[in-house]
């Protein structure tokens, strides 16, 4: 059989022609990928003097304007000869791109006096939280014209949650006898350690007295042992008057009276207000976290970083534990 498309020739000639064509194709493919060395143009030699005699005054530059190469070698100018030993095949224009022009925002006044001095109702607390959120947004967005904006945000939130917005009151939790016994475990361990410490101290005192009795003769009393019985009496202080035990009953009664009153965060709440307050508290916590990382740390500031998030968590917990009166969510219903 002969290759397709070849007619009117002997089979040997056809196969020879076909073989030659295949060989030429393979040779052409191999030649396309072979390594070839290309000699670069020779370097431009600037050590010779320039020939300015052939320069026409009408068609070219003046002879006085042409700088001979010998002068360049004597006192080379870096601006003229910095690229003479390198080949510049292609030079891309270096056009600086300053970026899109952005106009500074118009300054919006910030009035810190919008925060009330003290909140006595839940409505006042909600208004104070809204104003604080708006002021923090304005301070954060206008850093181009307000200095120390992070410090101002931190101070604003610290004042808001420590002096303006009241903290939710503690709830009375009814515990069983087993739970109460478990809760006082730390107190019992502290009393046990104190008793062991007193026992060790009394044993040391007895050993010390026994050692002193062996050294002194019978019937001899040191001067430092003659003490006034008024001072040794545990019920009498150093000045000779009876010791008065601190009376905490008045403080406990006042604390119980305050806890018995209704907390302003325990008022009925709607689903809309519940969601709004939680979002507002989250945004305030984000502002405070960003400000906390921008302020130099100290011991007092560490206390503020613990106190402010704790108050935010307490308020959020009190809000979410109230069942909404219109559309209660699964979270508040579970809590």
DSSP string, 32-44: HSS----PPPPPP
The confidence score (pLDDT) of residue 72 equals: 46
Q: What is the pLDDT of residue 127?
A: 94
- Burial of residue 236, with CB atoms counted within 10 A of its CB: 0-12 exposed, 13-18 middle, 19 or more buried: middle
Between 50 and 34, the higher pLDDT residue? 34
Token pair listed for 220: 């001899």
d(CA 317, CA 334): 13
Domain range for residue 315? 112-168+263-334
H-assigned helices in 176-237: 177-183, 185-215, 229-232
Reported as a pLDDT band with limits 50, 70 and 90, residue 64 is: very low
Place 52 in a pLDDT band, splitting at 50, 70 and 90.
very low
Nearest to 160 by CA among 276, 315, 269, 273: 315
**136 falls within a domain:** yes
Q: Over the chain, what is the mean pLDDT?
A: 77
∠ CA(89), CA(94), CA(97), 5° rounding?
Answer: 155
Beta bridge partners of 242: 236
| Contact between residue 108 and residue 145 where contact means Cβ atoms under 8 Å apart | no
Residue 38 lies in a domain: no
Number of H helices, E strands in the chain: 12, 0
Q: Let me know if residue 125 belongs to a domain.
A: yes
The tokens for 315 are 């308020």
pLDDT digits (tens, 9 = 90+) for 88-122: 556 666 777 777 777 778 888 899 998 999 998 99
Tell me if 157 is assigned to some domain: yes
Distance CA 142, CA 125 (A): 26
Question: Does residue 317 form part of some domain?
Answer: yes
- Whether the pLDDT of residue 250 is over 80: the answer is yes
Choose among 282, 283, 305: nearest CA to 292. Answer: 305
Average the pLDDT over 195-216 and give the result.
82
In a domain, 242, yes or no: no
Q: Flag whether pLDDT at 76 surpasses 90.
A: no
Q: Give the range among 10-24, 61-75, 123-137 with minimum mean pLDDT.
A: 61-75
236: β partners? 242
| pLDDT tens digits along 274-307 | 999 999 999 999 999 999 999 888 999 999 999 9
What's the number of domains the chain is made of?
A: 1
How far apart are the C-alpha atoms of 319 and 266, rounded to whole Å?
8
**Residue 146, in any domain of the structure:** yes
| Residue recorded with tokens 């042409």 | 66
Tokens 């009498």: give the residue. 236
Residue 85 has pLDDT above 80, yes or no: no
- What is the C-alpha to C-alpha distance for residues 303 and 33, in angstroms, rounded to an integer? 73
Any domain includes 11: no
d(CA 123, CA 120): 9
């Amino acid at each position: 059989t002969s290759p397709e498309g070849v007619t009117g020739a002997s089979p040997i000639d056809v196969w020879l022609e076909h073989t030659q064509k295949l060989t030429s194709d393979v040779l052409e493919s191999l030649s396309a990928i072979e390594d070839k060395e290309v000699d670069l143009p020779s370097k431009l030699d600037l050590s010779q003097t320039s020939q300015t005699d052939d320069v026409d005054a009408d068609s070219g530059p003046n002879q006085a304007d042409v700088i001979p190469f010998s002068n360049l070698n004597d006192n080379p100018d870096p601006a003229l000869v910095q690229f003479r030993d390198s080949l510049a095949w292609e030079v891309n224009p270096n056009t600086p791109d300053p970026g899109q022009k952005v106009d500074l925002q118009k300054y919006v006044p910030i009035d810190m006096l919008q925060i009330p001095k003290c909140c006595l109702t839940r409505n006042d607390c909600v208004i104070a939280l809204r104003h604080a959120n708006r002021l923090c947004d304005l301070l954060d967005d206008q850093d181009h014209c307000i200095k120390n904006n992070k410090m101002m945000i931190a101070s604003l939130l610290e004042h808001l949650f420590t002096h303006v917005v009241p903290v939710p009151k503690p709830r009375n939790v009814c515990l069983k006898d087993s739970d109460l016994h478990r809760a006082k475990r730390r107190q019992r361990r502290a009393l046990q350690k104190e008793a062991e410490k007193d026992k060790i101290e009394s044993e040391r005192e007895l050993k010390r007295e026994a050692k002193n009795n062996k050294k002194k003769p019978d019937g001899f009393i040191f001067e430092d042992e003659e003490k006034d019985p008024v001072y040794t009496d545990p019920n009498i202080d150093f000045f000779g008057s009876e010791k008065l035990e601190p009376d905490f009953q008045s403080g406990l009664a006042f604390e119980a009276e305050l806890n018995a009153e209704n907390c302003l965060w325990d008022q009925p709440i709607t689903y809309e207000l519940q969601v709004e307050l939680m979002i507002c508290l989250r945004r305030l916590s984000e502002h405070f976290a960003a400000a906390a990382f921008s302020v130099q740390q100290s011991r007092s500031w560490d206390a503020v970083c613990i106190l402010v998030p704790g108050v935010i968590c307490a308020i959020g917990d009190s809000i979410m534990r109230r069942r909404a009166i219109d559309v209660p969510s699964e979270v508040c219903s579970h809590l």
